[in-house]
Structure 1
Amino acid sequence: MSDPKSDAKLRFTTLVLRRELPSEYHEVAPVVAPSIVAYGPEDRTALELQLALSELPEEAKPSSVARHLLPAGVRLETIEVELARSALPGRLAHPITATITVALVPEPRPDAAPAGHWVFVPALDHAFYLARGEDLADRLQADLRVLPAALALDADGWKRLLTWAPARLEEVAVELATTPLAEAQGRKALADAERKRQAIA
């Protein structure tokens, strides 16, 4: 007979970004993995996302779980940027102003202020590192000068980038479907040690 404790599942809490769309439906996705999306009525999206995250395809890897374990101090910022569409003809090529929501995740250091922040741009499934003292708006604008062309955004991609919606952070509890707690705790310890090593380096 198996030990109930050894068969217990790993549980963790992560942060998700909830957007209320003009259709009155909601879109919910993890801050660090915006491609994993639940879409629909507000009262259903959190549960659907929990189910999706419970079956992470690479949960055997410590980094797959560790990247969802975010430090305290995560916040949202809304930035206005100009987007050039040089590939379009005539007036359509003129720059347009867009409002972009980003999530800032601090890079913690022991007994010190954050070394910088990881900035997640859900509308493009893009992330970059913002060093201390670096201006967020300037850096985001610089990235967005080249990203739409580099990603070869189609009409749906442009629509997502240009459609601003009210957003907020929420916590979601996840229970992994297949990884026993005893096994996962060992992996988590390795992942935590690696995160601390990178923060100190």
Structure 2
Amino acid sequence: MPTAPTVENADRSDDAEPTFRAAVPADVPSLVALVESAYRGEASRAGWTTEADLLAGQRTDADGVADVLARPDSVVLVAERAGELLACCHLERRPAAAYFGMFSVRPELQGGGLGRSVLARAELLARERWGLARMEMTVIEQRADLIAWYERRGYRRTGEYEPFPYGDERFGIPLRDDLRFERLVKTI
């Protein structure tokens, strides 16, 4: 089975900066806890990325995260400090672009620049490791604040939409009936 690419960190000498690495199977429980804390339930309300008003239930589970880790041309990038998991994102190499998802920052650390660092590192990895010149993602259309954050970082709305997977509780329990995903893209 292919292994995830190693992720080098040029900032190792500065203890204040996070280190970055590719997640391994032993990280699955911590990754699930991080993703859940960033998006669902009352704990997520400590940050600004919560989906608690849109969705109940789970955001992901151990099987889903393990599946992402096992995919070829896929890496879960983690940011940590002193061995403590702070943030993560998933990158998947596709023919025309790197797909960016599962982006999570601990709620109490949101708004401090860590998310910008993770996103920049993900773009660098996609460009340098895979030779890709484009990133893409899907964001729940109703997340105007999050879409605006991505737009400030150079992503643009495409007007292309995908339906929300209603009826599949692996992705959460919708609290409204008008959810859908919008595709965002950026040349990197």
Q: Pick 1 or 2: higher relative contact order, CA cutoff 8 A, min separation 6.
A: 1
Task: Confirm or deny a common fold (TM above 0.5).
Answer: no
Task: Please give the TM-score of this superposition, normalised by the length of structure 2.
Answer: 0.30
